[in-house]
Amino acid sequence: MAAAAIAPGWLTLAAVALGGAGEGPQLTALFAVRHRESPEHMRGQIFTTAASLKIGGLAAGAALAGPLAGRSVTACLLIAAGFELCAAAVYVLAGPRRSWSAAGTTLRSEE
């Protein structure tokens, strides 16, 4: 997002395309982890709740960014890049979670 904000002309399109290319594998990995880690009897509720939160978040982000986009697309993209950096920082600070299996014999990392 930061590259898209500061790239001139057609490079903006290339930066956005590069960001979009990473979305497919990321979403596939998210679904795989969500399926693996959620109890079978709760999967439907977990997937539905996550989809609702994502759609609600996208709508809220669009509503907040709309007034800014009319003034400065660069500002919008820099704000988005800032949120991405915050998310990465939270992940790094929280660290990978480790848990014991039900038998208590194996340590599994959720990295």
- The type of residue at 5 is A
Q: Can you list the alpha helix ranges (DSSP code H) found in 22-101?
A: 23-37, 43-69, 73-94
**Are the beta carbons of 81 and 1 closer than 8 angstroms?**
yes
> What angle, 0 to 180 degrees and rounded to 10, lies between the N-to-C axes of helices 43-69 and 23-37?
150
Residues found in the chain = 111
Q: pTM to 2 decimals?
A: 0.56
Residue 6, both tokens: 């500061």
Domain ranges, residue 90: 2-109
How many domains does the structure of the chain reveal?
Answer: 1
Tokens, residue 91: 């992940």
Task: Express as a percent the part of the chain with pLDDT over 70.
Answer: 85
Give 43's contacts (C-beta < 8 A, 6+ positions apart). Answer: 34, 35
Q: Is 38 helix (H, G, I), strand (E, B) or coil?
A: coil
Residue 32: pLDDT band with limits 50, 70, 90? very high
Write the pLDDT tens digit of every residue in 56-104: 988 988 887 777 777 777 777 788 888 889 888 988 888 776 554 544 4
